[in-house]
Amino acid sequence: MDTLSLDPGLYIVATPIGNLGDMTRRAIDVLGAVSVIACEDTRVTGKLMAHLGIRKPLRRYDDHADAAARDALIQLMREEAVALVSDAGTPLISDPGYRLVRAAQAEGIAVTSLPGPSALITALTLSGLPTDRFLFGGFLPGKDKARGDVLRELAAIPATLVFYDTGPRLAETLDAMAELLPRREIAVARELTKLFEECRRGSAAELAAHYHEHPPRGEIVVLAGPPSEAPAPDAAAVDAALREALARLPISQAAKDVARSTGLDRKVLYVRALALQSEAP
Ligand code: SAM
């Protein structure tokens, strides 16, 4: 029996990211009171509903759904309360829902968001990195070039950066961070709220070495603290570091090595290394 009477509209409902005990009382009440639940995957949400003892029609929805499917949900919201959930966590956070919320608001439909679990906030609060300013970057691109472009774009931002990641990609992400975010402290938060929850903090190079050796399982958030205040090395020190690296490495590798240790741009260092090499007796 429904205990709550809801006005028509869209209800965004966060669900647990691993521990079913994290379902809020209000989320349970609202899911028990809506007419329809829009979800990413009816099997995943079906299991959660079975656990909660709630039987409601489930309708598959994601932001790639065609306009007709979205319109049908919008029509329903004019008369009925409709919930939106994702497989886990807060809808719209690297999950579907943005287009649906925009469309509902454009039609003057009431939208209510119920706060609840999200891996983003759980990881940030657990990481021990500064929380006063942060930037959520979603999933980094999988391809080296595109991932590098994003990290270069964000490298100077004075805030903690938060990314979602996957086990197979983590070590490569950390390699890229070691090269492009060398002055940031990194944290890896894994399997949050679950039995094997883990949070490790260190330099990107240290964590990359660890995860190359111990390929991680499960769900992962990678965080990079704000760039450290270390003063930029002076030109003479950079030249000395480049000369030392050129004595043992090919030029591009030397530039990469010094970029990693100084936080300076690899392409700029490459050009300087070429000049130093041509000056060499
Ligand atoms: N909307 C969700 C939220 O609010 O957290 C995120 C959905 S996104 C498709 C899934 C990603 O979130 C995973 O690949 C992982 O990066 C992160 N994630 C979800 N659950 C997690 C957990 N229990 N521990 C660590 N990361 C998690």
pLDDT digits (tens, 9 = 90+) for 178-236: 999 989 999 999 999 999 999 999 999 999 999 999 999 999 999 999 999 766 668 88
The answer, yes or no, to whether residue 51 has pLDDT greater than 90, is yes
Query: What is the pLDDT averaged over residues 146-163?
Result: 97
Please give the C-alpha separations between residue 100 and each of 64, 69, 199, in angstroms, as whole numbers. 10, 10, 34
Q: What is the share, in percent, of the chain residues with pLDDT greater than 90?
A: 84
CB 111 within 8 A of CB 63: no
Residue 219 Cα to ligand 1 middle (Å): 6
CA atoms of 178 and 256, how far apart (whole Å) = 10
Q: Highest mean pLDDT: which of 93-102, 237-246, 248-257? A: 93-102
Size (the chain), residues = 281
Task: Provide the H-helix boundaries in the chain.
Answer: 25-33, 42-52, 67-79, 98-106, 119-127, 144-154, 167-180, 204-213, 235-246, 251-262, 266-279
**Among the listed ranges 25-34, 104-113, 255-264, which one has the minimum average pLDDT value?**
255-264
The answer, yes or no, to whether residue 2 has pLDDT greater than 70, is no
Please give the mean pLDDT across all residues of the chain: 94
Q: What is the pTM of this model?
A: 0.84
Q: What pLDDT score does 232 carry?
A: 62
Backbone angles phi, psi at 235, to 5 degrees: -60, -40
Backbone angles phi, psi at 123, to 5 degrees: -65, -45
Q: For residue 50, count other CB atoms closer than 10 A to its CB.
A: 10
Contacts of 9 (CB under 8 A, 6+ apart): 77, 81, 82, 104, 109, 110, 111, 112
Q: What pLDDT score does 230 carry?
A: 63
Please give the residue that has the higher pLDDT: either 8 or 268.
8
Closest ligand 1 atom to residue 88 Cα is 2
Confidence category of residue 32, pLDDT binned at 50, 70, 90: very high
Closest ligand 1 atom to residue 91 Cα is 1
Amino acid identity, residue 12? Answer: I
Amino acid identity, residue 154? Answer: L
- Ligand 1 is surrounded, with C-beta below 6 A, by 17-18, 86, 88-90, 93-95, 118-120, 164-166, 189-194, 219-221
Confidence category of residue 111, pLDDT binned at 50, 70, 90: very high
CB 163 within 8 A of CB 139: yes
CA atoms of 111 and 126, how far apart (whole Å) = 30
CA atoms of 192 and 123, how far apart (whole Å) = 7
